[in-house]
């Protein structure tokens, strides 16, 4: 989750003519035309890098032309299969027309939910369109694999990624004239759905992002992050939440969560039915949660070491004071797990006695050699572009982060919403996880640059002593104790084999690795009532592949397996500690103030000087946007003329409907 894109047009600023989007030849007409797409206001909503796509198509074409005989064989096979598909579609149509049963065979594998409308099967025109698209997509992606000429692995990954983006974008369901459900709805509503879609588009253009969820359906502290608790400590970077016990006796060793600071903590405390925090409290654990502040430009010089000292180290002292326990069981989630590993290594490098006992890593990276599709967004030119953007603003905006995660799952997070919002004219659904996904945070300049360069770009954490924090060399091999690590089977951000590597990096006495079903988020949020299954294996193994060979599949949720592991390492049961202490009395109710800032306060067009002016006298609870002047126009000014016709059309449509 820590990788960041430098997507052209994603910030509402002028595109910088360097980096990943300027690799192609400047005087190439195709490249020039594709590059202009990034200046379109729609690029804020659909952050596709069309120049990189055109480069990928050109590279594939050059590979094919280098072996014409092979290309001829592939084309012949493609034409044969297309002809067979065509004949089968029309043969089935003839059977239906004559009243005879169809000769169709059951499709193998999981059905493509994009083509769930019955017309894609019953109407021969749409059926042929679907089959042609799927066959062409298959061949295009297959060609990327089979024409691999042994080039750099990262370049091959980039080629496949951008071809997949092209294939996803070109699906016929994404276009009104080739989407039977959209056409049917337009006819049923007398065109009202098209007017509604235009209004949704105008609203998204003004906001500068694609709506994925009904934002009015949720409010942090009201129907999200509702587990009762108190903020018992606050500094310039974190609020520490202590949750109220619900059992008469609790385990003596408390839990301290370190969630990622690139998202809000409440993914771990969504609604009552899927809250990990609530589950653990009900199992008799004393739970503390770190809630990170959403940085603004005044925090541009915040260092990565500040995240350690003001984060886990400061929180640990408070937890010890309140619970009177000398031991703490820390839980590091994603980037929080990376920080936790660094903190453990930092403590081991000095004379400090570590308060941390049994450690849990949830989908966390320490070895960044294999990071999946996120590698597409990380190379020297893109990091330099990101750093130039951060120098101007003092931070990296949350929308750049959101664009990257959306592109990693473009069918689910981009195109499905394009269809729902614009083609069908519907409002986004009310879904708590998508609300959290849209409630992003910014990245402090210095800390984020240090993190990206030492992890994704240079992979320095696995090199003993290469990274130095506050004068101490970081060596993960000095991390001891017991570890519970969990990866997710379909994780495209932290591949499970990379999450497993903590088993070999740390010098632990025992590492219990669990593989959860599903992906990066859904795999972790797996309450017992909706358990998706998981795998475990006893013993220690040399490779992730060897571990998988011995792993046994279980039904239910990995939470239950983890709970048992924690219970064995959390001491005896005792009376719950008080909420707060004399030194750290409760400040405000959970979820606190830091988790409530950021949804509308992204001053992405501001320079750091302007944001500092706005920050003077600012309370820690809020980060308002900078003043908007002629020198600093609102970020949506560039799309005002584009939006206005849609607004007028929508108003006319609304008045017509009310008259009806």
Residues assigned a catalytic role = 334
Do 273 and 216 form a contact (C-beta atoms < 8 A)? no
Give the number of other CB atoms < 10 A from CB of residue 477. Answer: 13
Are the C-beta atoms of 420 and 187 separated by less than 8 Å? Answer: no
**The token pair that represents 132 in the structure block:** 């042609």
Q: Which residues contact 107 (CB under 8 A, 6 or more apart)?
A: none
Return all residues near 606 (Cβ < 8 A) that are at least 6 apart.
Answer: 297, 393, 614, 625, 626, 632
Look at the chain and count its residues: 660
Cis peptide before 591 (omega within 30 of 0): yes
Is 297 in contact with 606 (CB distance < 8 Å)?
yes
Is residue 342 a contact partner of residue 269, using CB atoms and an 8 Å limit? no
Q: Which residues contact 530 (CB under 8 A, 6 or more apart)?
A: 274, 557
- The region that residue 250 occupies, defined by phi over 0 for left and psi between -120 and 50 for alpha, beta otherwise, is beta
- List the structure tokens of 615: 């920050």
Contacts of 14 (CB under 8 A, 6+ apart): none
411: its two tokens: 């069918």
List of E strands, 220-379: 229-234, 238-243, 250-251, 255-258, 287-292, 329-333, 358-362
Give the bridge partners for 486, in sequence order: 362, 514
| Residues 540, 513: Cα–Cα separation, whole Å | 9
* 360 three-class SS: strand
Torsion angle of C-alpha atoms 99, 105, 110, 116, degrees rounded to 10:
-20
Q: Tell me the CA distances in angstroms from 17 to 8, 9, 11, 22, 623, one per residue in order.
A: 10, 12, 14, 6, 31
């Amino acid at each position: 989750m820590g990788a960041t894109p430098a997507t052209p047009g994603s910030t509402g600023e002028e595109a910088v003519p360097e980096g990943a989007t300027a690799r192609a030849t400047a005087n190439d007409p195709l490249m020039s035309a594709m590059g202009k797409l990034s200046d379109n206001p729609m690029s804020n909503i659909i952050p596709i890098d069309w120049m990189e796509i055109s480069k990928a198509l050109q590279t594939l074409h050059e590979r094919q032309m280098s072996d014409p005989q092979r290309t001829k064989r592939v084309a012949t096979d493609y034409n044969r299969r297309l002809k067979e598909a065509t004949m089968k579609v029309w043969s089935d149509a003839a059977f239906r027309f004559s009243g005879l049963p169809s000769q169709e065979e059951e499709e193998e594998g999981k059905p493509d939910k994009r083509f769930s409308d019955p017309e894609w099967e019953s109407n021969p025109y749409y059926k042929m369109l679907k089959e042609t698209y799927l066959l062409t997509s298959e061949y295009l992606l297959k060609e990327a694999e089979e024409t691999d000429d042994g080039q750099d692995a990262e370049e091959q990954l980039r080629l496949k990624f951008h071809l997949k983006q092209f294939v996803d974008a070109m699906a016929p369901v994404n276009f009104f004239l080739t989407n039977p459900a959209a056409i049917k709805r337009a006819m049923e509503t007398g065109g009202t759905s098209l007017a509604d879609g235009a209004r949704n588009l105008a609203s998204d253009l003004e906001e500068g992002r694609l709506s994925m969820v009904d934002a009015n359906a949720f409010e942090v502290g009201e129907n999200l992050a509702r587990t009762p608790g108190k903020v018992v400590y606050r500094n310039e970077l974190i609020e520490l939440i202590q949750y109220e016990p619900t059992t008469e006796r609790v385990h003596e060793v408390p839990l301290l969560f370190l969630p990622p600071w690139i998202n809000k903590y409440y993914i771990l405390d969504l609604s009552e039915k899927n809250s990990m925090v609530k589950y653990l409290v009900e199992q008799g654990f004393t739970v503390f949660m770190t809630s990170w502040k959403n940085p603004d430009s005044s925090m541009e010089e915040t260092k990565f070491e500040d995240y350690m000292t003001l984060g886990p180290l400061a929180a640990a002292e408070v937890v010890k004071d309140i619970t009177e326990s000398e031991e703490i069981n820390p839980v590091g989630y994603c980037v929080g797990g990376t920080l936790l590993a660094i903190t453990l290594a930092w403590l081991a490098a000095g004379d400090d006695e570590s308060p941390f006992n049994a450690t849990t890593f949830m989908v966390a990276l320490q070895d960044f050699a294999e990071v999946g599709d996120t590698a597409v967004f990380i190379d020297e030119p893109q990091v330099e572009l990101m750093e130039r953007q951060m120098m101007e603003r003092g931070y990296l905006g949350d929308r750049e982060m959101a664009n990257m995660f959306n592109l990693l799952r473009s069918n689910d997070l981009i195109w499905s919403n394009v269809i729902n919002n614009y083609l069908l004219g519907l409002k986004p659904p009310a879904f708590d996880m998508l609300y959290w996904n849209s409630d992003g945070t910014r990245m402090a300049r210095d800390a984020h640059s240090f993190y990206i360069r030492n992890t994704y770009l240079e992979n320095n954490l696995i090199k003993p002593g290469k990274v130095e924090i506050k004068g101490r060399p970081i060596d993960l091999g000095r991390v001891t104790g017991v570890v519970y690590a969990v990866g997710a089977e379909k994780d495209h951000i932290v591949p499970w084999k990379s999450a497993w590597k903590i088993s070999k990096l740390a010098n632990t006495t025992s590492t219990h690795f669990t593989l959860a079903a599903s992906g990066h988020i859904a795999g972790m949020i797996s309450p017992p009532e909706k358990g998706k299954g998981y795998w475990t294996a006893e013993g220690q193994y040399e490779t992730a592949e060897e571990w998988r060979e011995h792993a046994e599949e279980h039904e239910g949720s990995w939470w239950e397996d983890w709970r048992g592991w924690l219970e064995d390492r959390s001491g005896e049961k005792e009376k719950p500690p008080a909420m707060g202490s004399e030194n750290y009395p409760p400040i405000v109710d959970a979820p606190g103030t830091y988790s409530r800032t950021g949804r509308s306060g992204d001053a992405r067009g501001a320079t750091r000087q302007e944001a500092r002016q706005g920050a003077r006298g600012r309370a820690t609870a809020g980060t308002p946007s900078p003043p908007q002047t002629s020198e600093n126009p609102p970020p949506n000014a560039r799309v005002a003329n584009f939006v206005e016709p849609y607004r007028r059309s929508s108003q006319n449509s609304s008045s017509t409907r009310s008259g009806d």
